[in-house]
């Protein structure tokens, strides 16, 4: 199944959040979501690493 406006010429946008935008994002997220963002930003972790992290430490 493909999206209705799928184009093989699509190029993903390479964008990252500047530090100021990360801070604003974390202010509006619930605490548990902000923790995930903080972990990801601090460690440069990709999503698989975030899911495998040891929550005891």
pLDDT digits (tens, 9 = 90+) for 15-39: 888 999 999 999 999 999 999 999 8
Q: What is the pLDDT of residue 12?
A: 83
Alpha-carbon span 18 to 21, nearest angstrom: 5
Domain boundaries, the chain: 19-52
Residues 8-35 as b or e (16 or more Cβ within 10 Å = b): eeeeeeeeeeeeeebeeeeeeeeeeeee
Average pLDDT value for residue range 35-57: 84
Eight-class DSSP state of 8:
T
pTM: 0.63
How far is 19 from 41, CA to CA, in rounded Å? 10
């Amino acid at each position: 199944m493909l999206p209705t406006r799928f184009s093989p010429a699509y190029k993903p946008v390479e964008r990252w959040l500047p530090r100021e935008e990360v801070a604003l994002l974390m202010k509006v997220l619930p605490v548990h979501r902000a923790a995930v963002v903080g972990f990801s930003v601090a460690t440069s972790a990709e999503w698989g690493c975030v899911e495998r992290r040891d929550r005891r430490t």
